Amino acid sequence: MGIISWIVLGLIVGVIAKLVMPGKDPGGIFVTILIGIAGAFVGGFISSLLGFGSFSGFNFKGLLVSVGGAVLLLAAYRMLKNRKTS
């Protein structure tokens, strides 16, 4: 997938990650969407490292990998933000 496809997928994934991990996020929905974009990249990178190959378009496997990356980043972001405020 091209970079534009990953960004569009990341926007969708950011919203899905917010639904999977409800709660008050520091930074609001816009930060969550940005984390979704980054999660799409991270998920694709990890998938390539693990030997699952690259993705050629929007498909269910790419969506799952991207949501996994976004949830991972969102959890890390929440832990870092909560640690700084306590």
Instruction: Answer whether 61's CB lies under 8 Å from 48's CB.
Output: no
Q: What is the pLDDT of residues 7-36, one digit of tens each?
A: 777 778 878 887 887 777 666 667 777 887
User: 0.75 exceeded by the pTM?
Assistant: no
Q: What is the DSSP letter of 46?
A: H
Contacts (Cβ under 8 Å, ≥6 apart) of 18:
25, 29, 32, 36, 74
Confidence label for 56 from pLDDT (cuts 50, 70 and 90): low
Radius of gyration of the chain (CA): 13
CA distances from 22 to 9, 12, 44, 56, 65 (A): 20, 16, 23, 30, 19
